[in-house]
Structure 1
Amino acid sequence: MQAFNWQKIQNGSDIRGVAIAGVPNEEVNLTPEVVSILGKAFASWLSQKLNKPTTELLISVGRDSRLSGAELMQAVMTGINALGSQVYDLAIASTPAMFMSTITDGFKCDGAIMLTASHLPFNRNGLKFFTAQGGLEKKDITDILTLAEKNEFVVSESQGKITEHNFIAVYASQFVTQIRRAVNHPEHYEQPLKGLKVIVDAGNGAGGFYADQVLLPLGADITGSQFLDPDGTFPNHVPNPEDKAAMAAICDAVIKHQADFGIIFDTDVDRSAAVDQFGKELNRNRLIALISAIVLQEHPQSTIVTDSITSDGLTKFIERDLQGKHHRFKRGYKNVINESIRLNQTGHESWLAIETSGHGAMKENYFLDDGAYLVSKLLIELAKSKLTGKSLTDLIVNLQEPIESEEFRIKMTVDDFKALGDRLINDLQAFASNQPDWQIVPHNYEGIRVSCNSIDENGWFLLRLSLHDPVMPLNIESNIEGGVAKILQRLTAFFQSIEGLDISAFSRNG
């Protein structure tokens, strides 16, 4: 392992790599040997953090439905056992459930590992780590990889053992209890979703449990639910609420089966989206608006933290209609969560941190980005609104949505792409400042955001540097037809003068 590049498998606060061969130009770097060493490294890191011998540690391990999951899970458990630590094998589970295994009575594991690569292709896999304080930060992952690279672990004379547990059933029962109490149905306390047809699309990931173990006990009709069985080839569609084919699949299912509500999860259930009774997507800005309306009913005037690409209409809705505060921050689920936590620590009440991708974390739920928790909050409101003869989406009737919304990914073809990206943002700032009908948006925390105020544009754009790749995403929204093309036309003249850029993505709009 001396020549292995350990830092290459770090992806922010996660570890990700290629676990299955066969895809051109994607060499396997997440092997059982590597993962076994990572198990030892996590146990060692945890021992140092908790000031507790590895022989006294209890670590839970779970996985999603990926083809490589079973083998890699066995490898990581073997590594943990080698240092004398005990392992709870939670089998196929969700990422949020793994965190809950560190704080739930009867378990309270010292740490947890989830093997998942979220919505990435079938040949990828990765590891997410938790303690009772939450998910690990980027620096923690760097420290674990440093221990892995040294590989100087002392193998215990007494090997740890593996014990199997059905924790997902425990986790599911927590939602059942939560929804019963919150709805408090006057006639059907045990089955507050009776009379509602709710369809779940798990995309053959780990979220199928929600239909059978949460909705059914609550009395919901789950006829039409689809792709509930785990299948790491993802034969039907990518398990990703941001994927157009995935959203089309759940929308079609809701319409076909005349359902009241549709739910879709990503592979490891830390993200979700929903569909209303008319087959209309409740994702991105709509999902944020809906959960914000619920949160601000419970916690008036508090702050909603979102990522940087939310719409102007969402800001108006949160601040004007809901009387809350909208704090538009940076992309990255860890960024919005940590910012919301920071606000609370400085005396500014914030109960929700949410990305347009569907990552949503709530203060009342340990700031855990849990797709199942998010949709449970929506289902509670759905059941309550039915009792009063209203519709769930009445909550967002005043949300103004853009007529057009596009994202273009500008590729950078130079080695030092971060330097080029920083220079590009500075140059664009100067360019935008000289446009009489453009206004640079203040208090922007990522890249540059500009309001485009001419009557044939009536929108905004945001240019930022990707978190990890040599790409600059350009998001453009407009409140009139043809507005995106007008804004893009003016920007194209600017980008064409910069060397080291591939702006071929613009051609699809022109």
Structure 2
Amino acid sequence: MDKLQALQNGSDIRGIAISTDEAAANLTAVEASAIANGIVDWLQQHHATDGQQLRIAVGHDSRLSGPTLKQALIDTFLTHSVEVLDTGMATTPAMFMATQFESFDCDAGIMITASHLPYHYNGIKLFSRKGGAEHEDIAYILAHSYPLDRSLPVVGQVQTADVIPVYAQDMVRKIQRATGEEKPLASFHIVLDAGNGAGGFFAEKVLQELGADTTGSQFLEPDGTFPNHIPNPDNKEAMASIQRAVLTQGADLGVIFDTDVDRAAVVDRNGEALNRNNLIAVLATIVLEEHPGTAIVTNSPTSSHLKTFISQLGGKQVRYLSGYRNVINKAISLNEQGVDTQLAIETSGHAAFKENYFLDDGAYVIAKILMLLPKLKKQGRQLSDLIADLKQPAETQEVRFPIAGSDYRAYGEQVIQQMAVFADDHADFSMDDDNEEGVRVTVRGEYGSGWYLLRMSLHEPLLVLQAENDVKTKNSAVLHELQPFFGAYDRLDTSKLTAVLNEA
């Protein structure tokens, strides 16, 4: 595979931007310059501008390699007569909005980020006026990338333009309109954890602007070494950090972002995390009150109890393939078919609302919750009350099985097919047909009451097994029953399963 094409990560580009003892860099200024040529080609071919000069905004998160990669992109764009807006520190959703805000009016917005990955990684996310790039768009760009010819003259222009103040003020206005108040958060103490990523602005430019007390907010300063914790709402250490901050400060709410602010989670005043299934339930409650009967697209590894919860609210959960672009595209497709679908969300925290361009925007997720807080307070209710009827499983478990060999995907799919046969032949297992990814199996009898899902990882050579049960210790019984099945496949590394069972 071409070295550039190997950088494709679904609908993004990702690679190692800083060499370490373990791996050499493969996404440096050289590669970025080449990719910029492919981006210009893609925009000219697929997003015709009637011969007008292209206008591209480029921003980055707090990663150490961000400024270098940004400059490499800009240097190439300037050889194509592109008008470049250098936005400096930015967020992924803000870079999309650079294509929507009249004051920016860009043909494309480029965000240099690798989300929650370690400091030495980086990547490129790309937006046109129509939305985020798809898998096939990135494939086209990388296939049409070529090295920068430094003998070419500079015929474009570059100017600096900070998008964050415009984005933040737009968010403030939306919350004010929804609540009918200028300072709707005046009686709230809200703690923000930005994980030293790009989201620290939200404390001053949004929360404080709306009247909130943000005392105790932490890790707001950008620092690409991520010295405090991984900037990832789905990370246990990161979540524990914001939970401690909320309890220490006696805050009403805690908010945590990932590095580029396309994901978020919240913590209630009792220190309880509202992420994964719980966050989906909260947002489902909000959209179903606004749009009764709407469908909500999620990825496949959601709790069975979530489906019941959404159904009881009058909505319909559509389980679909993992990957934020997959759930977004499914929601868009359903709307095109005449099925009202207001929300697409993954358990990882990627959430996109129809009313917000189906953009996976962590700050907008928080905005929707902030819009609700004053109303809840007047009713004498808390955020957690919204999901009081969501049944919680007694235990959950995830086990990953690395697959050896180059044709790992075909091998993994073979294992999944055989798992379906195995489940069909088992007296206490039955296939769940409401599933479009891998195989999902309902368990009962001596195996408790729950389910397990076996699917391929989106980007890595491994199978992912996720299990949930309403009876304590029964996940262990399920895994013991599955151990001989996985042990029969010599290309599967079953050491993680063995370790889990030994700990049980």
Do Structure 1 and Structure 2 share a fold, with TM-score over 0.5?
yes
Query: Quick check: 1:62–1:93 contact (8 Å CA) kept in 2?
Result: yes
Task: Give the corresponding residue for 1:167.
Answer: 163
Name which of structure 1's ranges 368-377 and 453-462 shifts more when overlaid on structure 2: 453-462
1:290-319 per-residue CA deviation (whole Å, 9 max, x = no partner) reads 000000000011101000000011011000
- Hey, what's the Cα distance between the residues in 2 that align with 1:221 and 1:152? 49
Secondary structure of the corresponding residue to residue 445 of structure 2: coil
From 186, 190, 212, the equivalent of 1:198 is 190
Unaligned regions of 5+ residues in structure 1, if any?
none
Tell me how far apart the structure 2 counterparts of residues 307 and 283 of structure 1 sit (CA, whole Å): 14
1:66-465 to 2 correspondence within 5 Å? Answer: 66-149=63-146, 151=147, 157=153, 159-184=155-180, 189-320=181-312, 322-465=313-456
Q: Residues 249 and 347 of structure 1: is their aligned pair in 2 closer, same or farther, counting only changes over 3 Å?
A: same
- For the Cα contact (< 8 Å) 1:173–1:213, is it kept in 2? yes
Contact 2:82–2:156 (CA<8 Å) still a contact in 1? yes
- 2: distance between equivalents of 1:123 and 1:315? 39
The Cα shift of 1:387 comes to 2.0
The CA deviation at 1:508 is 3.1
Residue 54 of structure 1: how far off its partner (Å): 7.5
1:55 and 1:327 map into 2 onto residues whose CA distance is 42
Cα distance 1:329–1:155, how it changes in 2: closer, same or farther (>3 A)?
farther
| 1:158 to partner: Cα distance | 5.4
- CA distance in 1 between counterparts of 2:51 and 2:88 reads 22
- Tell me, in whole angstroms, the C-alpha distance in 2 between the residues paired with 1:96 and 1:43: 21
Look up the equivalent residue of 2:299 and give its one-letter code: D
Which residue number corresponds to residue 5 of structure 2?
7
Indicate how the Cα distance of structure 1 residues 296 and 328 shifts in structure 2: closer, same or farther if over 3 A, else same: same
Cα contact 2:447–2:475 (8 A) shared by 1? no
In the aligned structure 2, how far is the partner of 1:167 from the partner of 1:469?
A: 34
CA pair 157-52 structure 1, distance change in 2 beyond 3 A: farther
Letter in 1 for 2:81: G
Residue 52 of structure 1: how far off its partner (Å): 3.6
RMSD over aligned Cα, in angstroms? 1.5
Offset at residue 339 of structure 1 (A) = 0.3
Aligned to 2:14: 16
Q: TM-score, normalised by structure 1?
A: 0.96
TM-score by length of 2: 0.97
State the match for 2:494 in structure 1. 503
For the residues of structure 1 that align with 2:228 and 2:244, how far apart are their CA atoms?
Answer: 14
For structure 2, the 5+ residue unaligned runs are none
- Tell me, yes or no, if the aligned pair for 1:55 and 1:86 is still in contact at 8 Å: no
CA distance in 2, matches of 1:51, 1:167: 24
Q: Distance in 2 between matches of 1:306 and 1:51?
A: 33
C-alpha contact 2:200 2:219 (8 A) present in aligned 1: yes
Give 1:152 deviation, angstroms.
Answer: 8.7
CA shift digits 1:235-256 (9 cap, x unpaired): 0000001110000000000000
Give 3-state SS (helix, strand or coil) of 1:310's partner: coil
Partners of 1:36 and 1:212 lie apart in 2 by 35
| Distance (whole Å) between structure 2 residues aligned to residue 503 and residue 400 of structure 1 | 31
Q: Which residue of structure 2 lines up, in the alignment, with residue 493 of structure 1?
A: 484
Do 2:34 and 2:148's aligned partners in 1 also have CA atoms closer than 8 Å?
no
Aligned residue-pair number: 501
SS at match of 2:456: coil
Residues 95 and 111 of structure 2 are in contact (CA less than 8 Å); yes or no, is this contact kept in structure 1? yes
Contact 1:328 1:444 in 2 (8 A): yes
| Structure 2: distance between partners of 1:45 and 1:444 | 35
Matched residue, 2:54: 57
SS where residue 445 of structure 1 aligns?
A: coil
- 1:49 deviates by 2.3
Query: Once the two structures are superposed, what CA deviation does each residue of 1:189-225 show, in whole Å capped at 9, x if it has no partner?
Result: 2111011000100000000011010000100000010
What secondary structure, in the 3-state scheme, does the structure 1 residue paired with 2:260 have? coil
1:279 is paired with a residue whose SS is coil
Q: CA deviation at 1:23?
A: 3.5
